[in-house]
Amino acid sequence: MQISDPGGGIRIKIVIDHTFGQQRLTFIATLAYLIQQNRVISTFLDSGPNEMEKRQAMLAAIIDNSEDAIISKTLEGYITSWNRAAERMFGYKEEEVIGKHISLLIPFDRLSEEDMIIENIRNGRHVEHFQTIRRTKGGNTLPISLSVSPIKDKEGRIIGASKIARDITQQIRLEQESKKNLQELELLLSIGKTFFEKLDLQTLLQRVTDITTELTGAEFGAFFYNNIDASGESYPLYSLSGVSRSAFTNFPMPRNTPLFKLTFSGEGIYRSDDITSDPLYGRNSPLEGMLPGHLSVVSYLAVPVVSPAGPSIGGLFFGHSQRAMFKADHERTLAGIANLAAIAVDNAKLYEEIKLLNQRKDEFIGIAGHELRTPITTIKGYLQLLENEMPEGQPKNFIEKALRQVNKLNSLIDDLLDVTRIQSGQLAYNLTLTPLLPLVREAVETVRQIYHTHSIETIFSGEEIIVQADHTKIEQVLVNLLGNAVKYSPNAQKIILEVKKDGDSATISVRDFGIGISKEHLPHVFHRYYRASANPVISGLGIGLYISKEIILRHKGDIWATSTPGEGSTFCFSLPIAR
C-alpha cells in the first residue's frame, strides 16, 4: 500500500506480505490501539507537536490503507477500532460497529471460537492463521484467515486484542477447484485402467456409467444399448448409476423420438440446461412430456458411444433435477471417454465372441473325442487279435507299427479331452500320499518300452520323497516330458532325468541334448496349442506342455524350462513334499 502524509510532503510505500509475522502483527495491533486512543509511542514525540501530528496521521494511514481488515476490541469483546478494509469486507461502517460486541460478526454456531481466542489473549498467547467463517452485514458467510494479537498498555498489562482478517474466498475456491481437478484426474485414470483391464461387457459399462455420473455431478446416469428391433425402436437399459433400477420400473425403453434419435444415431452430444423447455421435449405422440412418477429431469446431457467401425453402440444419459448443472467442460471430457469406451466395448464384444467360439470348439472336441474312441477301440482290438495269431515276419511287423499308431492316436484324443476338461474345470484329481521315486521309475519304464532310440539315465536322491499327488496325472506329466525329450533330440541318444530334494519341495528335471528352443519361443512353450518348432516332421498339437502345466499348478507346484539352441533343453517341475 502507498500512504501520503496529510501535509503532502512525505510518500511512503509499505508492503505487508501474506504471512503475518508475529512482530509485525504485534506492531500493527498496538499501533491500531494507540491511534484509536489518540496516543502515540514516546519515540515519536521528540520532534515537537507538529511533527508528532504528522507521524500520528501517517501511522493512522498505515492502518486505514491496509488491504486486510484490522479490528481492535476489549477483552470483553467490544469493538474499539475498525479500518476501511473491515468496512469493505464486512459491510459495516465504523460508526455502526464501534462499541458493539464482536459477536455481531460471528455465526451462531461459531460463538465458542471467541471464548477460545479471548482465553489465549488473556494468557498472552497469539492466534495465527486461524481459518474460520464470519458473517457480513448482508447476512452472507465469509471465509477468512484470522490472526489475533494482545494489546498492552504502557505498564505491560493486556487490555485488549487486535485482529487482522484476510478474505480467503479466492484461496478456498482455488483449493476446491484443485481438489476437484485432482479427483477428476483420478477418475479418468481409473476409467482408463478399466478400459485396459475389463473385458466383461456388463462390468465395463457399469464402471463407465458410475465414473461418468460422478464426473458430471449428475443425480443419475444410464447407458442404453443400441439394440434396434424389427420396428426400429428398442433401446434396452444396460447399466444405471445413482438410482436403483426400480426407478425405471414403470418407464418404457426410450423410443425413436427426435430427442433420443440424436444420440442413438450418433449425431453428437446433446446438452440442455432445462430439457422441459426444450423444443424437442414432449414431442413423442401420443405421450406428452415426462411420464407420471418418472425421475425429475431438468438438466439433461446425452453422449453417443460410437464404434470406430461406424455403427452407434448406444448412449450415455445424465440427468439432474436442477437446471444448468452440466457444462461445456463436461461435454469435452465425456466425448473423449465415450471414444475410449466405444473401443473398449468393441474389444469386450470381440472377447465374448471368442469365448463363445472357444466354448463351441471345446464342446466339439469333447463330442468328437468320445465318438472317435469307439472305432479306435474296435480297430485296436482287431489288430491285437491279428498280432496274437500272426507268425513272426514282415506282416506281424506291420501290425505292430499299426498298433503303435493307434496308441498314438488314442493318446492325442486323451490330450484333447483333457484340454476340454481343463477349460470347463472338470479334470478330476485324486490326491493321495504317493512315494515319488517308484512313480518316476514306472514312468521311465513306460517311455523305454515306447522309444528304443534313446537311453534314459536316472539320478535319484538317496532318500524316499513323499508327495501329495494324483499318481496317474504326475505320470502323465513325466511321460510327456520324456516323450518330448526324445522327439526334439533326433540326433542324440541320451536323456537325463534327475529327482532331488530342494528344501520343502521335490524337483524333477528332464534334460535332452537336442535342437533346443530359441529365446523368443521359450516364454510361450506352456501356452495352449503353441509349438516352438515349425518342423513338419516333428508331430504334435502343442497341448502336452499346456496340460502338464495345468496339472502341476493344481498340485500347488511350479513348472519351467531352460534351453540353449543347438545344445538342448531342460524341463523342470516341483512338487511340495508332504508333511
Radius of gyration of the chain (CA): 43
Q: What integer pLDDT is reported at residue 14 of this predicted model?
A: 41
Q: Of the candidates 71, 42, 40, which has an alpha carbon nearest to the alpha carbon of residue 58? A: 40
Q: Which CATH architecture has domain 2-167?
A: 2-Layer Sandwich (3.30)
Measured in whole angstroms, the distance separating CA 59 from the mean position of its chain's CA atoms is 59
Q: What integer pLDDT is reported at residue 433 of this predicted model?
A: 94
CB 36 within 8 A of CB 11: no
Topology given in CATH for the domain delimited by 174-344: Beta-Lactamase (3.30.450)
What are the backbone angles phi and psi of residue 575, rounded to the nearest 5°? Answer: -135, 140
Residue tagged 423410443 (cell numbers): 255
Q: What integer pLDDT is reported at residue 204 of this predicted model?
A: 82
- CATH 3.30.450.20 region(s) of the chain? 2-167
Q: Grid coordinates in use for 504?
A: 520343502
Q: What integer pLDDT is reported at residue 199 of this predicted model?
A: 72
Q: With 0-12 CB in 10 A as exposed, 13-18 as middle and 19+ as buried, what is 501?
A: middle
Measured in whole angstroms, the distance separating CA 174 from the mean position of its chain's CA atoms is 26
Topology given in CATH for the domain delimited by 354-424: Helix Hairpins (1.10.287)
- pLDDT by residue, tens only, the chain of 579 residues: 343 444 444 343 444 444 444 444 445 555 554 444 444 444 444 445 566 566 556 666 666 677 889 999 999 999 999 998 999 999 999 999 999 999 999 999 999 999 999 999 999 899 988 999 999 999 999 999 999 999 888 888 999 998 999 999 888 888 887 777 676 667 666 776 766 676 777 888 888 888 889 888 899 998 888 765 545 555 677 788 888 776 665 554 555 567 777 788 888 899 999 988 877 766 555 444 454 455 678 999 999 988 887 778 888 999 999 999 999 888 888 888 888 888 888 888 887 888 787 777 777 766 766 667 667 777 777 787 887 777 777 777 788 778 777 777 777 777 777 777 776 666 778 899 999 999 999 999 988 988 888 999 999 977 889 999 999 889 989 998 999 999 899 889 999 999 999 889 999 999 999 999 999 889 889 987 777 665 554 656 678 898 899 899 989 999 999 999 999 999 999 999 987
User: Could you report how far apart the first and last alpha carbons of the chain are, in Å?
Assistant: 84
Q: What integer pLDDT is reported at residue 457 of this predicted model?
A: 94
As a whole number of angstroms, the distance between CA 271 and CA 172 comes to: 29
Residue 256 neighbours by CB distance under 10 Å: 15
Measured in whole angstroms, the distance separating CA 524 from the mean position of its chain's CA atoms is 29
Q: Of the candidates 434, 435, 454, which has an alpha carbon nearest to the alpha carbon of residue 444? A: 454
Please give the single-letter amino acid code of residue 517. Answer: I
Residue 375 neighbours by CB distance under 10 Å: 9
Residue 499's H or E segment, with its range, is strand 494-502
Q: What integer pLDDT is reported at residue 185 of this predicted model?
A: 67
Could you tell me which residues are beta bridge partners of residue 148?
Answer: 127, 163
Q: What integer pLDDT is reported at residue 144 of this predicted model?
A: 92
- CATH 1.10.287.130 region(s) of the chain? 354-424
- CATH 3.30.565.10 region(s) of the chain? 432-576
Q: Grid coordinates in use for 392?
A: 513272426
Residue tagged 545344445 (cell numbers): 567
Dihedral (CA of 402, 408, 410, 416) sign: negative
- CATH 3.30.450.40 region(s) of the chain? 174-344
Topology given in CATH for the domain delimited by 432-576: Heat Shock Protein 90 (3.30.565)
SS (H, E, C) 311-377: CEEEEEEEEECCCCCCCHHHHHHHHHHHHHHHHHHHHHHHHHHHHHHHHHHHHHHHHHHHHHHHHHH
Q: Grid coordinates in use for 407?
A: 496308441
